[in-house]
Amino acid sequence: MNIVLGITGGIAAYKAPDIVRRLRERGAEVQIVMTASAEEFVTGTALQAVSGKPIRSNLWDKEAEAAMSHIELARWADVVLIAPATAEVMARIVSGGAPDLLTTICLATEAPIALAPAMNHVMWNNPATQANREVLEERGIHIIGPGIGSQACGEEGAGRMLEPDLIAITVFNLTGGKGEGLLEGRKVVVTAGPTREAIDPVRYITNRSSGKMGYAVATAAAAQGADVVLISGPVSLAEPPGLEVIKVESAMDMHAATHEAIDAAHIFIAAAAVADYRPVAIVEQKIKKKSESMSLELTRCPDILASVADLDAAPFTVGFAAETENLIKHARGKLEKKKLDMIVANRVGRDCGFDRDDNAVTVLWSDGEKSFPTSSKVELAHDVIELVAEHFFAKRGSETQSRLTVISNND
Ligand SMILES: Cc1cc2nc3c(=O)[nH]c(=O)nc-3n(C[C@H](O)[C@H](O)[C@H](O)COP(=O)(O)O)c2cc1C
C-alpha cells in the first residue's frame, strides 16, 4: 500500500517516526509530506531515515516536483493519512484551499483521506473545529480519534492523538489494506472494558480494566475482515471506526446487549472485566454518612461468558482470564468449567495487565497453549485473532481448508 503521510505542526508530531515504522512493518511504502509548522516539531532527517524516502515539504521544490509532481504523488497514494492533524489543517481542507503541498495533494487525490487529529481539548471542542470535523466526515474523510486523556499542555480531555499502532491498523482497516481477510464474512462479537454496578445515584463498584485489550481485539478482528459488534463498558477510548459499538454500564446491561447481538455470531470474545457481584438493591437517594461502618449486600452478576458458551447454537467462544496468581491453572480451570473453545490468560496487578498499553498473554485450548511475550496490546490482539481464526476454522473443518493453508504458511 502506498501511503502519503502528512505531518502537521502539533506536539504529537514527535510520534510521527513511530507511525512510519508501524505502517512500514505492515508492508506500506510511506512518502512523508510535512508542513512548514511540522518542521518546527520533528526533523526531516529522522523522518527520512525511518521512511527511507526523501521528505517532501515545499510545493515549490523544483527538483522534487520534476522527480514526482504533486499530481503524481496524489495519484500514487492509495491513502493519504495526516497524523497528527492540526485544527488548522482541518480548516484548510474544509475550505478547499491548497496553499501548501499537503493540502494540494488532498485536493488532487482520489484516494481515501484519513486524519488523526491532535490538539488541546479546548481547541478540539471549539465549535469551529467541531463544525470542520462534521464537514470532513460528511465528505467521507475518515477521522481517527482523537483519544481522551492527559495532554501535552498538562490538562485532561479529548484531543490526544491515538497511539501510532492503532492509527496504522485503522488506516489499513479503513482502506481495504486488511490482514489476510481471515475472518471475511464472519460475525464477531467482542465485549470490552469494566462494568459499573450502581450503589446509589452517585456511587458504583467497578474495576481497573481500561478496555484497551478488548478494543484492540475488536479492531484486529475487523482488520481481518470480520463484521464486528463491540459491546463496551464505560471506558475513555475513542470508538474504533468501522465497527458497531454498543455502550453499556452494568453487567446486567452487558448481558442483555450480548444476547441481543449474539444471534448469527460465529465468534464471541469476552474481553470485558465484568463484575462478579452487584449490590442487591440500588438505593434511590444518595446514601448519607451516618454510622461508623456500613455493609453492602451483594448478589452474583450473570456469567455472560458461560451463558453464551451454554447456548444451543453457541458461537466459537473465547474467554479472558485476568488473574493475579496461578494464572495458567486458573485459566485452564475456567476453560474446562465454562466449556470454552479458547481462553486468553493474562496476569493482572499494579505492574501489569489493566490500564497499560502492553501485555503478555498465554492462549490456552483443550490440548494446547501458546504464549506471547510482552508487546503492545494492539500487536498481541493481532496474534490472538490469528490464533482464534486458526482454531475456529479447524473446528469448522474442511470448509476452510484453503484459509488454513494461508495461516500455516504465515506461521
Ligand atoms: C508549541 C506549539 C504547539 C502546538 N501544538 C498544536 C497541536 O497540538 N495541535 C494543533 O492543532 N495546533 C498546534 N499548534 C498550532 C499550530 O502549529 C498552528 O496552528 C500551525 O499554523 C499549524 O500549521 P499546519 O497545520 O500547516 O502544520 C501548536 C503551536 C505551537 C507553537
Q: How far is CA 326 from CA 273, 321, 332, 347, in A?
A: 18, 11, 10, 9
pLDDT, residue 351, reads 60
What tens digit of pLDDT does each residue of 245-260 get? 999 999 999 999 999 9
119 lines ligand 1 (CB under 6 A): yes
Distance of CA 114 to the CA centre of its chain: 15
Which of 41, 59, 86, 126 to mutate to test ligand 1, by most ligand atoms within 8 A of the CB atom?
86
Ligand 1 atom with the shortest distance to the CA of 9: 27
Q: Is the pLDDT of residue 384 over 90?
A: yes
pLDDT, residue 400, reads 46
pTM: 0.65
86 lines ligand 1 (CB under 6 A): yes
Please, which pLDDT band fits residue 359 given cuts at 50, 70 and 90?
Answer: confident
Query: Which residues are part of the catalytic machinery?
Result: 153
What are the residue ranges spanned by the domains of the chain?
2-174, 187-284+294-410
Q: Please state, in angstroms and rounded to a whole number, the distance separating the CA atoms of residues 64 and 71.
A: 12
Provide mean pLDDT across the span 140-161: 86
Assign a CATH topology to domain 187-284+294-410. Rossmann fold (3.40.50)
88 lines ligand 1 (CB under 6 A): yes
Residue 254 and residue 214 in contact, taking contact as beta carbons nearer than 8 Å: no
What tens digit of pLDDT does each residue of 94-104 get? 999 999 999 99
Assign a CATH topology to domain 2-174. Rossmann fold (3.40.50)
37 lines ligand 1 (CB under 6 A): yes
Q: Is the pLDDT of residue 125 over 90?
A: yes
Query: Quick one: CA torsion of 231, 234, 237, 243, rounded to 10 degrees?
Result: 20
pLDDT, residue 398, reads 42
**Same-fold call for 2-174 versus 187-284+294-410:** yes
Ligand 1 atom with the shortest distance to the CA of 38: 27
Q: Is the pLDDT of residue 19 over 90?
A: yes
Residues forming a β-bridge with 359: 375
Distance between Cα 265 and ligand 1 center (Å) = 45
Residue 155 and residue 121 in contact, taking contact as beta carbons nearer than 8 Å: yes
Q: Which helix (H) or strand (E) holds 214?
A: helix 212-223
- 24 or 357, higher pLDDT: 24
